[in-house]
Amino acid sequence: MKRPSFPILLACFAALWLSIGPAHAETNEIRVAKQYGLGYLQMMVMEDQKMVEKHARAQGLGDVKVTWATFRSSDVMNDALLSSSVDFVCLGVPGIATIWAKTNGQVKAASGFNFLPLQLNTRSTHIKGIRDFTDKDKIALPAVKVSMQAIMLQIWASKEFGDAGMTKLDPLTVSMTHSDGMAAFLSGAGEINNHFTSPPFIQREMAKPGIRKVISSTEILGGPISFNVVAATAKFQQENPKAYAAFMAALQEATDFINKDKRAAAEIYVKATKDKTPIEDLLAIMNDPTIEYSLVPKNIMQMVEFMHKTGSIKVKPASWKDMFFPNAHGMAGS
């Protein structure tokens, strides 16, 4: 019997090694999506300081390319995540609850992000409370029905009108980015006479004569809630453990950077966004005790339970940890 030649044996050994050897190489590109405003400051710091690239090298990944995109709201980010167009996204609580339930847990949060109050502002003198809205009053917010602001309006309406009236304000809402919503709202013309937004847009609007607060997220919910979480697919987390770890280390570093030197962070924000708000005004906003940059998820379940009760999601997690990857489970979340 003729024995196989050495080259054939070598080829067979190579094929066997590839079939049982180490997993495929990790990604050489990390794609991240953020939204608008101070609520995404950590992402801006990470991009400006190239923190993800630094931690990727520390993980032994070499020179990893990091690409950044800015989207309008959670619904757009969810679509991008499901289509594998991005790897990490920023989602409000409704966004992560929706995609976690929709994918049977194949998308989860990696951590919390921050606590920022949201606020509904009006330019109309007749609006003092929820019962004053008419069919002619329009409310700009990031995404109808699915954004944090949209769910908060439903919670507010359910408290005032009962469960049967929880969608009473839904027909008044209009999907707009924070910046576009502010421009339409402050123009004094058109149908947008109310804006449910976040810092620094809240403060810029309130500085204009005739603009008043109607209600805040803290008043609606009875306390603060995580403004955002950072999310990824289980597939990415499992197949790219070093890239995932590098991103999370960069996120923690950016959070520490902001809390240590808010002026430097504010300067990065202005450079990244071309925002005309004076640095001192941004610092005043960032030093507000109701604003906190922290990766600990907080008060997640209140909104998730409301969404399940109203049928927005069909599956309710037993705890906030069900919606988070294990690296977050040791946090004092809620």
| Digit-coded pLDDT (tens) for 140-163 | 999 898 889 999 999 999 999 999
- 211 has pLDDT over 90: yes
Tell me, yes or no, whether 310 lies in a domain. yes
Give the Cα-Cα-Cα angle 78, 82, 86 (nearest 5 degrees). 80
pLDDT tens digits along 281-292: 999 999 999 899
Residue written as tokens 């609850």? Answer: 97
Which residue range is the domain that position 183 belongs to? 119-221
Query: For residue 154, which amino acid is it?
Result: Q
Name the token pair of 148.
């944090």
**Between residues 230 and 275, the one the model is more confident about:** 230
**Contact of 33 with 77, CB cutoff 8 Å:** yes
Task: Give domain status of residue 34, yes or no.
Answer: yes
74-82 helix and 93-102 helix, angle to the nearest 10 degrees: 30
CATH assignment at residue 136? 3.40.190.10
Give pTM, 2 decimals.
0.84
**Nearest alpha carbon to residue 258 among 230, 229, 231, 287:** 287
pLDDT band at 70 (very low <50, low <70, confident <90, very high): confident
Domain annotation covers residue 7: no
Q: Which two tokens mark 251?
A: 């996120």
222 φ, ψ to 5°? 80, 15
Report d(CA 203, CA 277) in Å as an integer: 10
Who has greater pLDDT, 1 or 85?
A: 85
Whether 16 shows a pLDDT value over 60: the answer reads no
Domain count, the chain: 2
Per-residue confidence (pLDDT) for residue 64, from 0 to 100? 97
**Tokens describing residue 328:** 């977050």
Q: Quote the percentage of the chain above a pLDDT of 70.
A: 92
Instruction: Please give the share of the chain, as a percent, with pLDDT higher than 90.
Output: 75
Residue 104 CB coordination number (10 Å): 9
Instruction: State whether 239 and 319 are in the same domain.
Output: yes
